[in-house]
Copies of this chain bind each other. A is one copy, B any other.
Amino acid sequence: MANKGPKVSRRTALGMLVGGAAAGVAGAKIGLSTSSGGDLAAIAADRGLTGDQAEGALRTFVPGGEFDEYLIFASGGHSGQMLVYGVPSMRLLKVIAVFSPDAWQGYGYGTDQGDTVLDEGSDPAKSDALRWGDTHHPAISETEGQYDGRFLYINDRANGRIAMVDLRDFKTKQIFDVPNLQTSHGGCFVTPNSEYVHISSMSPSPVTDSGYAPLSRYAEDFRGFSTWLAIDQETGRFVKDKSFQIELPPYTQDLADAGKLSSYGLGFINSYNTEMATGGVMHDGQIDPAAALEATATKNDYDFLHIIDWQKAEAFVGSGSGVRTLNGMRVIPLEAASGEGILHFAPEPRNPHGVDVNPTGDYICIAGKLDPNASVYSIDRIKAAIDSQDYEGTDPFGVPILELSSVLEAQVELGAGPLHTQFDDKGYAYTSLFVDSAIAKWSLGPKAGHDADAFQLVETLPIHYNIGHLVTAEGDTVSPDGRYMVALNKWSIDRFPPVGTLHPQNFQLVDLTSEPMTLLSDTPIGVGEPHYVQMIRRDKLKGVLRLYEPGTDPMTWSRSPFAIAAGEERIERQGQDLHVYMSAMRSHYTPDVVEARLGDTVRFHITNIEQTPDATHGFAIPGLNIQASIDPGEVVNIDLTLDRAGTFAMYCTEFCSALHLEMQGWLQVAP
């Protein structure tokens, strides 16, 4: 388990490069009559780039008109959004509104789409109307363990919610406020054929009727929940009636992953705070730092890896008996989960973060942030231990604990603060080391093609700084690509110019095809604090739409009952309801003047009748807090009750043509 990897020289001598330039090497001439002289080496020298840096520039540049090979979908962290970057250029291609409204997209303000998705995704019994989220872990839908590029799921850690983004139009179609979760962390992951998307609680929830329970009754009255949300295969939506939860002890359930191939049918969740500490650093006005969770929740040498057999769980809820319903969700009680072989525990080094299943499904890799080792559990051993009931006992809630020595395959010393592991196509694992600010590359075992060199540290790459998660190309599938890795560094410190008191994070792109690994570029992240990302080959996004069918409601993918074609524009009064069937086309609305009276409800039904991709129009009525974005072919509805007289400008917010500014009109509200 010693570090066999070579020490990596991070800089090459600039002298060689400058020397080359000075020699006026004809071969590198690029024929442009520029002031630089046109020699690549001279240009690099002129800009003060080292050889490594010049290589990074050339390896990452993607010219306009050529497309990045991969896309990454990054959670926006507490911006509530999703970020789409190209790889290797690391250019931000799109910010998708997920849990936050965004006037720039269909979500808008005052539109049916935005309000419907956001309102339906916020359970009034759980919280006020939510307009933010703490996005954490995106997951792409899979077919046979491969990303299929159809749907994307992401959780709101804060509010125990999960959203579905449709990768045909990159719009959020559904937010589901998961019952019985107050926060969530264990997921999202999808099962290999997107049967389910999993999300489990982080802080356990009081399960009392009032929602209140004193912390003194933590063990009795608080519970975690592992949630298996069934997916409609056509629409990608969550189907609550086919979904279920498994009750868990009030530990803090952390990251999770799905079994695949050898471990298909299983799910894995890490946990910490099996001490069930509840903090309390201040008591009667006195401060006792030793009572902080960071001390009291880290006492046990081992916490519990949760091993869940979701196929057994599915059969159990199918049978109906013994299943409770809690806040509208079917729940398998903890006792049944333990007794029916649905839930097993295995000891894992204290306070782990990542649990990651390798591409073959044989190895479950645990990174324990307070343990310098990666701990590898084999699925063969786990299955055998379960079959033979090889238990070291049960936890206080009666969950059987598998014997550690029976299920642990290997431990590999990596460094300080290991958090999360990803995989390549050659049987190597890559684990982030938060405290060491490094990435450890290490070999897996025989089932991953290694034998003599199994389970050994190969190489350590310094990063800048304090890496959280990391991702490799198609790294969560049964066949990763190797190729690229992105380090999601939490601190950037000296890497970017100061832009205020809150600094960007740093995504570093690493080339995995070289030995040793090569750092290619640094990318500041100036929006949110991404926690995890998925990297998918761009050519897998086959379904991305360039243009809606005329009159489409993107929420249903069918023709909106309010759609019109050119010439069908009209205003219909039905009592105090004024239905305005409006078209938008460069560079005017039809109708462009609406005459209404105080107390009317204007119901705008706006069809963008353009047939040109990207000919998006906006529609804002500033004085009345309306702001919509309407893609070509799309229909947006806006209901507006007029409680104030006035003559209000309406205008197109999207710079659509040379006469874009003339695309405006008036809403008259007579007193």
Contacts and interface: CB of A to CB of B under 8 A. Distances in A.
Given A43-B58, A93-B504, A631-B501, A282 B211 contact: no
Contact of A546 (B16, B211, B434, B498): B498
Nearest to A52: B32
A627 B49 contact: no
Contacts of A656: 490
A627 B134 CA distance: 9
Given A63-B53, A212-B671, A662-B298, A623 B126 contact: yes
Interface stretch (A102-110, A336-344, A452-460): A102-110
Contacts of A574: none
Contacts of A159: 622-623
Contact of A569 (B287, B541, B616): B287
Interface in A28-61: 28-32, 34-36, 38, 40-41, 43-44, 47-61
A79 interface: yes
A371 to B, nearest CB: 11
Given A65-B494, A666-B278, A631 B502 contact: yes
A343 to B, nearest CB: 22
A292 to B, nearest CB: 4
A496 interface: yes
A150 interface: no
Contacts of A496: 64, 67, 86, 93
B25 A28 contact: yes
A668 interface: yes
Q: How often does this chain occur in the complex, in copies? A: 2
B293 A664 contact: yes
A448 to B, nearest CB: 22
A518 B34 contact: yes
Interface in A570-609: 570-571, 587-593
A544 interface: yes
A495 interface: yes
Interface stretch (A239-247, A312-320, A381-389, A527-535): A527-535
Contact of A369 (B38, B109, B658): B658
Interface stretch (A188-196, A391-399, A639-647): A639-647
Interface in A199-222: 202-203, 206, 210-215, 222
A567 B501 contact: no
A254 to B, nearest CB: 7
A491 B654 CA distance: 11
A56 B67 contact: no
Contact of A212 (B105, B222, B501, B668): B668
Contacts of A132: 101, 103, 109, 627
B490 A211 contact: no
A500 interface: yes
A435 to B, nearest CB: 6
Interface stretch (A137-145, A225-233, A258-266, A506-514): A506-514
Max chain B C-beta neighbours (<10 A), residue from A103, A182, A495, A668: A103
Nearest to A129: B625
B25 A20 contact: yes
A548 B57 contact: no
Nearest to A161: B622
A212 B669 contact: yes
A72 to B, nearest CB: 12
13 contacts: A16-B31, A34-B511, A47-B58, A53-B63, A67-B497, A77-B104, A92-B524, A104-B528, A158-B627, A212-B669, A212-B671, A289-B588, A503-B614
